[in-house]
Amino acid sequence: MDIAKTALRDATRTVRALTWLSLILPAVLFIVAAYFAYNAHFADARARAERAIDVVREHAIRSFDIPQLARYTVDDILMGLTSDEVAADENNLNARIKKFAENFPQVEDIWILDSDGKPVLTAYAFPAPRTLDLSDHEYYRVFKSGEKPLDDVYVSEVLSGRHRKGIFFQLAFARRDGNGNFAGVTAVSIQPKYFRDFYEQMAKIDINAIALVRSDGRILTRFPSKLEDLPNLGRADNFVAEVKKNPDQGYYQNVAVVDGVERLVAYQKVANYPAYAAVGINRATVVANWRNQLFEWLMIGAPAAMGIFLLCLLTGQYVRQEREVLSRLAQEMQARELVEKQLRQMQKMEAIGQLTGGIAHDFNNLLTIIIGSLNLISRRMARGETDIRLFVDGATDGARRAATLTAQLLAFARKQPLDPQPTDLNRLLVGMSGLLQRTLGEQIVVETVQAGGLWLTNIDVNQLENAIINLAVNARDAIPDGGKLTLETANTYLDEDYTIAHPGLSAGQYVVICVTDTGAGMHPDVAAKAFEPFFTTKESGRGTGLGLSQVYGFVKQSNGHVKIYSEIGHGTTIKIYMPRYTEGGASVPVRRSAAVADATGSETILLVEDEDGVRNFVTQALEELGYKVFAADGAEMALDLLKKQPDINMLLTDIVMPQTNGKRLSEQVQRQRPGIKVLFMTGYSRNAIIHNGVLDAGVALLNKPFTIDQLGAKVRLVLDS
């Protein structure tokens, strides 16, 4: 009896505990879910705002580029004409400018002012009101007084027309005379209505405010706002404070000065113009959507809580049985994970062993050449013999090949410093055609197929040239009896289905170079391993097996993609995909590095290097080239020499040093000697002047090892820059 009572009491306690749990647990879960849903709604609002701001910003950039085009058109039309000559031919000139303005609905008018602020020509006012004095306008004053550089663009606040009725803001550009001096202003009047109509079509219930704001907070156009109210909207002071903290783009919560509505605001700078695009989402709408979701959850959750209560009664019967099954399953999964871990470790060690063996093999060969040549030089010099040129050349060639091997390993590991520039690949191939033909020989025909309207890509030109040459040399070896090599460019789009099959690749627009040969082709097993380091099918002495690995590492470091297509007996095509460059700007002229005609000089150089052997070599090399050198083994000694020697022209410093790195030293030196030239040298530096694998802008770098000629050429280039 006592045992039965005890069992009944325990069962009652269990049922009571389950009952309370069935009530408390759903409540706790609801509160937690409400918290996460709250954050999710605001995160979603931010995402929608940021997507919308991208569209608004791109629309503003395209619209602001039209005044730039108008500026150049006006300069071409009025090239070299005086005000009297413009007046004499005003009918023709007015027609040409008016025809240009009529092509763009956002352009209200185009005004050309002379150096005194008087109109000489307009698009829609004929004849131009030459008695009208516009020298009191801000856009004229800032250029006339020199407060704003003549190359800048000025965006005015919203204005009301004096000559023609209307509301507009202006993008103004300074005009120059033949001597480059201030000759007046070209002011393009832009209709706020053009932007407001676009914003009205774009705005949704939750994205209920879109604006174009000048960098000082002046509102240029806004929806919702009436056009006649724009000149009086004033300044968005909170926006200015946020822009000071995050000048390129940002996101913040704010009560709008214009209408007192609390919004979530995202903004972005409009390219290089002194203006920002901003969108706002009503915070109250976000909160209301969150509350509606909670109400829906309650309508579903209350019945579910009652169902949980009933399920709790049945759960106890199956717990033990399920626990046993899960326990056996967990044991099996643990055993399988252990086996998989061991397999991955074996594969990793095999790859490391292959890489280490390849490096050791090649470096030991090269060290044998260098050490053997130096030993022979030492023996012959001890005997007084001077016929050592052959051994000097051998040691030099071995060292050069070792440096090349190191560069290839860094490229494969995606650790080489890149200096990307916007590049037209069609121009790159034209510049390389002669070099490729000389490299491949007359038995191979080189053909280039250039796509029309090819997009730009942001790429390190020298590294891409090396990659193409690597591929061309491989193609030459695949067609020893002669054949054809085709280099083709194209624009393409990689969709999400393709990128899912190739992890690490982003969907989007790409520029592709296809390198196709008419060789024997590759077996699929060979193609699958072609990019692995030290993998080669060539006979001994015909390659290190790092050429394609270097290409692969460089392309991946550049956020690109490389793919091999090959068929036995039908040749091979290797496609290199590089992301399209969409930030605007012209392509950098593609030209191969030319040797400096005279690398000597007489300037004074402060050398900072903590390695004694390297410091002694560089000192003697610079003195050999005619430079005066003060050498220091660290930052403290360098700064002391800088104080004592007033005539130092350049700082040549290693990056990785014990006391402080070369980057921080250069900043201290440039604070003391503004304008001093700086050249960094390094064997390998991860993040002092290189970030995300890209060399910092405006930084000059000389990679170790280097020859005297390379040192002299780089020093001369930096001093003359």
Q: Name the residue ranges covered by the structural domains of the chain.
A: 78-190, 421-579, 604-720
pLDDT tens digits, residue range 501-527? 888 788 888 999 998 888 777 777 777
pLDDT tens digits, residue range 539-576? 554 555 556 777 777 788 778 888 888 888 778 888 88
pLDDT tens digits, residue range 608-664? 988 887 888 888 888 888 999 898 888 888 888 888 888 898 999 888 787 778 888
Residue 411's pLDDT is what?
46
Q: Decide if pLDDT at 592 tops 50.
A: no
Domains 421-579 and 604-720 agree in fold: no
Residue 627's pLDDT is what?
92
Tell me the Ramachandran region of residue 117: left when phi exceeds 0, alpha when psi lies from -120 to 50, beta otherwise. Answer: left
- Given a contact cutoff of 8 angstroms between Cβ atoms, the answer to whether 465 and 439 are in contact is no
| Tokens at 481, concatenated | 């009896």
For tokens 């303005």, the residue is: 101
Tell me the Ramachandran region of residue 491: left when phi exceeds 0, alpha when psi lies from -120 to 50, beta otherwise. Answer: beta
Q: What is the topology classification, in CATH, of domain 421-579?
A: Heat Shock Protein 90 (3.30.565)
Give the mean model confidence (pLDDT) for residues 277-297.
86
Residue 531's pLDDT is what?
67
- Tell me how long the chain is: 721
- Least trusted range by pLDDT, from 200-204, 335-339, 386-390: 386-390
Q: How confident is the model at residue 591 (pLDDT cuts 50, 70, 90)?
A: very low
pLDDT tens digits, residue range 100-115? 888 888 888 888 888 8
Cis upstream peptide for 231 (omega within 30°): no
pTM value is: 0.41
604-720: CATH, from 3.40.50.2300, 3.40.50.970, 3.30.70.141, 1.10.150.120: 3.40.50.2300
Exposed/middle/buried for residue 692 (C-beta within 10 Å: 0-12, 13-18, 19+) = exposed
Q: Decide if pLDDT at 164 tops 80.
A: no
pLDDT tens digits, residue range 307-334? 776 666 665 555 455 556 656 777 788 8
Q: How confident is the model at residue 414 (pLDDT cuts 50, 70, 90)?
A: very low
For tokens 């590991």, the residue is: 413
Q: Residue 587 and residue 349: Cα distance in Å, rounded? A: 44
Q: Which of 479, 487, 489, 480 is nearest to 446 (CA)?
A: 487
Q: What is the topology classification, in CATH, of domain 78-190?
A: Beta-Lactamase (3.30.450)
CA 716 to chain centre: 29
One-letter amino acid for residue 3 of the chain: I
For tokens 């049922």, the residue is: 15
Backbone angles phi, psi at 625, to 5 degrees: -85, 0
Q: Residue 100 and residue 122: Cα distance in Å, rounded? A: 12
- Strand runs labelled E in 93-146: 107-113, 119-122
pLDDT tens digits, residue range 222-243? 888 777 667 666 676 678 888 8
Q: Residue 103 and residue 97: Cα distance in Å, rounded? A: 10
